[in-house]
Chains A and B, each alone.
Chain A
Amino acid sequence: MMDMKVANLGAASMSMPAIGEPVTRNEEANHELSIRVRDLNLWYGQTQALQNINIDVYQKNVTALIGPSGCGKSTFLRCLNRMNDLIRGVRIEGLVEMDGRDVNEVRMDEVALRRRVGMVFQKPNPFPKSIYENIAYAPRMHDLVSRKADQDELVERALQDAGLWNEVKDKLHQPGTSLSGGQQQRLCIARAIAVQPDVILMDEPTSALDPISTATIEDLMDKLKKQFTIITVTHNMQQAARVADYTAFFHLGELIEYNDTKTMFSNPHTKKAEDYITGRYG
């Protein structure tokens, strides 16, 4: 359970949120449920990496996961599209529910899950193919497009949504790896949105980038949340404050506080979150 109950006496006057809900609601945000997580525990071999995580993630928002290194935020993120399946010796218990289905159940097709929950990684990882092919590849495999013209249109739209179109429209057939780091990362975002997922997971998407590319990607996230649910891991608190509607603070494998971003950074409910945010550790 979350230990946010008695941290701040001043909060006692507020109504206690239900399990998994944020402490304070962000009234500007959308509150349709996207992913519901209940009592999620995860072990790498003998070590427990996640403990009793409960969280409701809402659609068409940016939710930021923050916390010191090794706190389990990336591990948690990878639970949402079962990327942890790729690691040997991982054991998961608890519920991760999306669209009324437990994503960890046996009958759940992890490939289908990943089609709906896309991911952008820390280091840009374009395929060793052309820019065009990087984007067109997945939709073609998923039968989202059949005609060449549709495909061209889809590539253009994805690149435009990712804010990359003007920079690359004349060199679509050059290799994706020829772009700069920031462009590569936007290419990876374009690649992810081209398959029309519901949720996009971003695992520290700007940590390998320069400040200008970072700003571009942050703007992009703000734009994309109109269409997609975005969950991003960051260890840059300013970034969380700038882009996120809701912020979740992880520490040592536990979710310490889940709150409206403004409240989280101005008036956190837990001592640990406050210490972290004010830079006392981390």
Chain B
Amino acid sequence: MSQSFDEISAQLKRRHRKSARLKWLSMGALGLAGLFLVIFFADMLGKGLPAFQQAQIRVEVTYSEQSQQLPLAAVNEDVRELVSRGWLRTLPMMMRDNPQLLGTSRQEWVLADGQVDQYLKGHYTRLDDDEKEIVDALAEQGRAELQFNTTFFSRGDSKMPELAGIMSAAMGTVMTLLVTLAVSFPIGVMTAVYLEEFAPDNRLTQIIEININNLAAIPSILFGLLGLAIFINFFGVPRSSPLVGGLTLALMTLPVIIIATRTALRSVPDNIRHAAFGVGCSRWQVVRDHVLPLALPGIMTGSIIGLAQAMGETAPLIIVGMVAFIPDISASVTDAATVLPAQIFTWAGEPDRAFVEKTAGGILVLLTILIAMNATAVVLRKKFERRW
């Protein structure tokens, strides 16, 4: 009456093939996603790693009266076009600071022009053939080479690629994030504590909850519009300042911290609370002395992840004006500043090809910091993870 195994198996062949196809297809999808990631990182490393090196050439520098007036005169005419203009401009100041240099002349490694840098790295360059020959000759004599690019890490933005660095943007990021943290962490934790431990289950609480989830999904650029209209136009917070940027990002980070804190609070089992109530603690004492300390690792993890997100955010900061050209490190949170992602955005828009590698270099720095932050969060979670 019923079919044998072999008969059924024969009918099943096609269906098994289809099933296998789904398996391979889905595996392929995951592989594709992984491949994107590999291509992306390979591309960024390939483009960005050269930014950590910078061409230097060894030339005769003459510290004379004349070169104080006209810095170009400090180097020989044949290499004049190859030395960084920006560096030459710092000469008079250097001579003013060190008067004993006056009248001396010596061989020195000096910053090469961005075009020389690009040429040595084998990229497109605007150098003409004569200049290329000179650079080749210098390189052969060991007088032109790529060295570690300290400028990139120690200086602010510049219109000359060989002098452009991420320092001012990095400091801007630090200041902005400090503002963000100072605002969003206390408010976020307090909100979560209220909702999780104190709030009655009424209409208002539900509205707040829905609202928080919605805030987390609102496009970030709209937070920029809020920052522009409320913080800058209404409260008069200075435009382009880490203060306004930090406040705007704080509002974006708030839902992340609230949601993470609530999850952490919820994972503290109720019998801890009951035990504390049992020994006569008030609700606030239970939260302060028992629940919060146990939830702290989770709160920290969530806050780090929230901050990492804020750190990569660009769109709302552009709207509040944090894309300014900032060559110097800003002194306070109310001065104009820029942040790493905004610096990346600015450089990406520079027409000079040499800025492509600066952009990618900045991206590598930013990604390294972000990965480090997220790794810290993961380690923190692993280390303090408790199974109840």
Contacts and interface: CB of A to CB of B under 8 A. Distances in A.
Contacts of A115: 8
Interface string B1-22: 0111100110110011000000
Interface of A: 99, 101, 108-109, 111-113, 115-116, 141-143, 196-198
Nearest to B19: A111
A196 B9 contact: no
Contacts of A198: 2
A193 B366 CA distance: 62
A99 B4 contact: yes
Interface residues of B, number: 10
B358 to A, nearest CB: 50
Interface of B: 2-5, 8-9, 11-12, 15-16
Nearest to A198: B2
A140 to B, nearest CB: 12
A112 B2 contact: no
Given A111-B16, A196-B2, A143 B8 contact: no
B5 A109 contact: yes
Nearest to A116: B2
Contact of B9 (A99, A112, A143): A112
5 contacts: A101-B5, A109-B9, A112-B9, A112-B12, A141-B15
A111 B5 CA distance: 10
A111 B15 CA distance: 10
Contacts of B4: 99
A143 B5 contact: no
Contacts of B8: 109, 112, 115-116
A111 B12 contact: yes
Contact of B5 (A116, A141, A196): A116
A85 to B, nearest CB: 14
A113 B5 CA distance: 7
A168 to B, nearest CB: 27
Contacts of A112: 5, 8-9, 12
Q: Which of B5, B9, B12, B16 has the most CB of A within 10 A?
A: B5
Contacts of A143: 11
Contacts of A116: 2-3, 5, 8
Q: Which of A109, A113, A142 has the most CB of B within 10 A?
A: A109
Given A109-B8, A116-B2, 12 more contacts: A99-B5, A101-B5, A109-B9, A111-B15, A111-B16, A112-B5, A112-B8, A112-B9, A116-B3, A116-B5, A116-B8, A197-B2
Contacts of A99: 4-5
A36 B279 CA distance: 63
